[in-house]
Chains A and B, each alone.
Chain A
């Protein structure tokens, strides 16, 4: 395909024999069919190019006084350029362009010679045509690249979205499951309360009946005795003194459970921050707390999470994105545990930045893994358990906040991620992910 590209540039021009006079060459250059060419080729008897004679060279000669008279009858070989640009038709377009531009001199006064595989003259090519061909080709490449870029951007958006949905799904599942614990005992307690207060109603009824009996003027001894006994029995069954403790406990636990459920729902809302703008004055410690509410249950059988949250000024950031980064780091840390471990989350303020570190005492990472953890699609988890995008997205989120994320790790000792978010960077915050 490349060689045919060059063939398209070929213009068949009759070559000049070496002995042709300069005068005849000048006449030929003046003919209409040759007026597009800057030069004409000279070949030997075997058809191999000897050189190029240029229009400008002849003009130089004829502009001299008596130029035509002095030079006109001499053979063209004496004034031709014996080292013209020669390009084989088998050369690719790019390679040809490279050869030609490497040797081209200014001003451009010659065309270039095209030869076949055996080195025999086939025609001329003009630099202008070559440039046009190159431009077309570059334009075509650009179209392909632009299309590829658009496709790449689309699939990246989809992947980022998929990762976001995956972490969101994981988070929602985690919270739904966490709701099941308080829901479990609240539901059971309500049922128990219903069963426990049954006898109380019976007692109240028996006592009311007894009261009626006592008040009734015509009540006989037997009815009164029955009512008394019923009331006593009901009292025994209901055992209100013992019941009081149980009811107190059940109500307290139920109330606690409902508060717990409420807290989780608020946590979910705080975590997602769907009801707030992308960026605002945020307390980073609040992000840490609400993410811990969400993450806690999912990781509690693997790690204990400790926090040391320092006094922090508010910062402009996208809290739901920061939460996503934090959740990702916490989940990764929990998964790095070979046995029950510990995660320490710290925040502190520096003069120009807020810092947040997540440190675990898990299995750590060797240097070859560490080097690649922010690469998209890099994962050490089994197929189907990680997209390999979590940390690369975290990296991008922090970067979009004008911050940095660094990591240090030692095999067998653990890993520490450090995030720095610069203060006063609100203007540079980009909308992303």
Chain B
């Protein structure tokens, strides 16, 4: 490590900041701010690798702040730390702020330490490659795997693939999806949380480990905050799009995914950009384990 990792904690409660600073000052260079505007100014002025931000603060909420943070310093890893399990905040922070983790208060000290270690690991790897601006990356043809039978999702994804000259693959069941993933290179996955009566969350979580550069867009009518939090932390999904599908939001999500893939392709050395948490639930962990086995050929191809 050439330079220490700098973490900026943002919370309107000074005692939270003091507590976190005291916990992590031995391992990282810790910065704290209780005012969102000053925090953003600081991101503009100084290099910061990780931002950990409270959700409910006067004048600006955490999701808004992290959205601004992504614009100012796209390289930072953004983490939301909140006492509220708030679906809207989670969706906004994911879709707008591209968060790395969604943590809840009160936090477990060990878990927080692990999360920051993982974030630091990604930050170190990222720092070895200079990120290119989107304009410098030529648009490139993707291959998109669609795991949703709904007509409006199909229409959106078909239109996007046609317009951009992308390749569209489909699967009607988990087995078909596994076969496609093993056989074909896939850049973007668009998936409902249910496919032919099966839960796709374990697949998304397996892919976060087996194929860290695959971007997953989840399209779902379900609004379960806890499930979304686990998808953020354990599957590192790229976007969460509510059903019924909103065309504009959907297109923006797909576009952002295309730009991200283009940026990765333009980079000479490729660090894995994702680092997901292992599923907390034992049964799901098992399922992910067996799916990882089934994705053997995909993993083999990626390690070559």
Which A residue sits closest to B85, measured CB to CB? A177
Q: Tell me the complex Cα distance, A225–B16, Å.
A: 44
A151-186, CB < 8 A from B: 177-186
Contacts of B19 in A (CB 8 A): 184-185, 188-189, 192, 250, 253
Tell yes or no: B106 within 8 A of A by CB. yes
Q: Number of B interface residues at 8 Å Cβ cutoff, please give it.
A: 22
Which B residue sits closest to A300, measured CB to CB? B58
**In whole Å, how far is A29's beta carbon from the nearest beta carbon of chain B?**
80
**Which one, B12, B18, B84, B109, contacts A177 given CB within 8 A?**
B84
Tell yes or no: A136 within 8 A of B by CB. no
Question: By the criterion CB–CB under 8 Å, are A181 and B16 in contact?
Answer: yes
Q: Tell me the complex Cα distance, A191–B56, Å.
A: 25
Question: By the criterion CB–CB under 8 Å, are B13 and A188 in contact?
Answer: no
Contacts of A177 in B (CB 8 A): 56, 83-84
Contacts of A189 in B (CB 8 A): 19
**In whole Å, how far is A333's beta carbon from the nearest beta carbon of chain B?**
16
Tell yes or no: A201 within 8 A of B by CB. no
Question: By the criterion CB–CB under 8 Å, are B83 and A178 in contact?
Answer: yes
Q: Tell me the complex Cα distance, A189–B18, Å.
A: 9
Which A residue sits closest to B64, measured CB to CB? A301
Tell yes or no: A297 within 8 A of B by CB. yes
Question: By the criterion CB–CB under 8 Å, are A184 and B107 in contact?
Answer: yes
**In whole Å, how far is B59's beta carbon from the nearest beta carbon of chain A?**
5
B18-56, CB < 8 A from A: 18-20, 22-23, 56
Contacts of A192 in B (CB 8 A): 19, 22-23, 109
Q: Tell me the complex Cα distance, A183–B106, Å.
A: 6
B248-302, CB < 8 A from A: none
Tell yes or no: B57 within 8 A of A by CB. yes
Question: By the criterion CB–CB under 8 Å, are A301 and B83 in contact?
Answer: no
Question: By the criterion CB–CB under 8 Å, are B16 and A185 in contact?
Answer: yes
Question: By the criterion CB–CB under 8 Å, are B83 and A191 in contact?
Answer: no
Contacts of B84 in A (CB 8 A): 177, 180
Contacts A181-B105, A185-B19; A340 near B83 (Cβ below 8 A): no
**In whole Å, how far is B35's beta carbon from the nearest beta carbon of chain A?**
13
Contacts of A188 in B (CB 8 A): 19-20, 23, 106-107, 109
Contacts of A304 in B (CB 8 A): 58
Q: Tell me the complex Cα distance, A283–B272, Å.
A: 62
Tell yes or no: B61 within 8 A of A by CB. yes
Contacts of B16 in A (CB 8 A): 181, 184-185
Which B residue sits closest to A246, measured CB to CB? B22
**In whole Å, how far is B246's beta carbon from the nearest beta carbon of chain A?**
14
Which B residue sits closest to A176, measured CB to CB? B83
Contacts of A300 in B (CB 8 A): 12, 56-58
Which A residue sits closest to B54, measured CB to CB? A181
Which A residue sits closest to B103, measured CB to CB? A184
**Which one, A183, A186, A301, contacts B61 given CB within 8 A?**
A301
Contacts of B109 in A (CB 8 A): 187-188, 191-192
Contacts of A183 in B (CB 8 A): 105-106
Which A residue sits closest to B22, measured CB to CB? A192
Question: By the criterion CB–CB under 8 Å, are B59 and A301 in contact?
Answer: yes
B81-102, CB < 8 A from A: 83-84
**In whole Å, how far is A294's beta carbon from the nearest beta carbon of chain B?**
15
Question: By the criterion CB–CB under 8 Å, are B18 and A253 in contact?
Answer: yes
Q: Tell me the complex Cα distance, A304–B12, Å.
A: 14
**In whole Å, how far is B265's beta carbon from the nearest beta carbon of chain A?**
39
Q: Tell me the complex Cα distance, A129–B254, Å.
A: 80
Tell yes or no: B150 within 8 A of A by CB. no
A254-308, CB < 8 A from B: 256-257, 297, 300-301, 304
Q: Tell me the complex Cα distance, A400–B106, Å.
A: 42
Contacts of B60 in A (CB 8 A): 301
Question: By the criterion CB–CB under 8 Å, are B104 and A180 in contact?
Answer: yes
> B23, B57, B83: which has the most chain A beta carbons within 10 Å?
B83
Contacts A300-B56, A301-B61, A340-B58; A184 near B106 (Cβ below 8 A): yes
Question: By the criterion CB–CB under 8 Å, are B22 and A181 in contact?
Answer: no
**In whole Å, how far is B283's beta carbon from the nearest beta carbon of chain A?**
28
Q: Tell me the complex Cα distance, A191–B107, Å.
A: 11
Contacts of A249 in B (CB 8 A): 18, 22
Contacts of A187 in B (CB 8 A): 106-107, 109
Question: By the criterion CB–CB under 8 Å, are A180 and B105 in contact?
Answer: yes
Which B residue sits closest to A174, measured CB to CB? B84
Q: Tell me the complex Cα distance, A183–B83, Å.
A: 10
Question: By the criterion CB–CB under 8 Å, are A250 and B105 in contact?
Answer: no
Question: By the criterion CB–CB under 8 Å, are A184 and B105 in contact?
Answer: yes
Mark each residue of chain A from 296 to 328: 1 if its CB lies under 8 Å from any CB of chain B, else 0.
Answer: 010011001000000000000000000000000
Q: Tell me the complex Cα distance, A73–B105, Å.
A: 110
Q: Tell me the complex Cα distance, A191–B20, Å.
A: 11
Which A residue sits closest to B58, measured CB to CB? A300
Question: By the criterion CB–CB under 8 Å, are A181 and B107 in contact?
Answer: no
Question: By the criterion CB–CB under 8 Å, are B59 and A340 in contact?
Answer: yes
**Which one, A179, A253, A301, contacts B56 given CB within 8 A?**
A301
Contacts of B105 in A (CB 8 A): 180-181, 183-184
Question: By the criterion CB–CB under 8 Å, are B22 and A297 in contact?
Answer: no
Which A residue sits closest to B11, measured CB to CB? A181
Contacts of A185 in B (CB 8 A): 13, 15-16, 18-19
Question: By the criterion CB–CB under 8 Å, are A257 and B59 in contact?
Answer: no
Q: Tell me the complex Cα distance, A184–B15, Å.
A: 10
**In whole Å, how far is B33's beta carbon from the nearest beta carbon of chain A?**
16
Q: Tell me the complex Cα distance, A74–B105, Å.
A: 109
Question: By the criterion CB–CB under 8 Å, are B57 and A180 in contact?
Answer: no
Question: By the criterion CB–CB under 8 Å, are B106 and A257 in contact?
Answer: no
Contacts of B22 in A (CB 8 A): 192, 246, 249-250
| Known A177-B56, A187-B107; 15 more pairs at CB < 8 Å | A178-B83, A182-B15, A184-B105, A185-B19, A187-B106, A188-B23, A188-B107, A192-B22, A192-B109, A257-B15, A297-B56, A300-B12, A301-B56, A301-B58, A304-B58
A-B contact pairs, 5 of them (CB 8 A): A188-B109, A192-B109, A300-B57, A301-B57, A301-B58
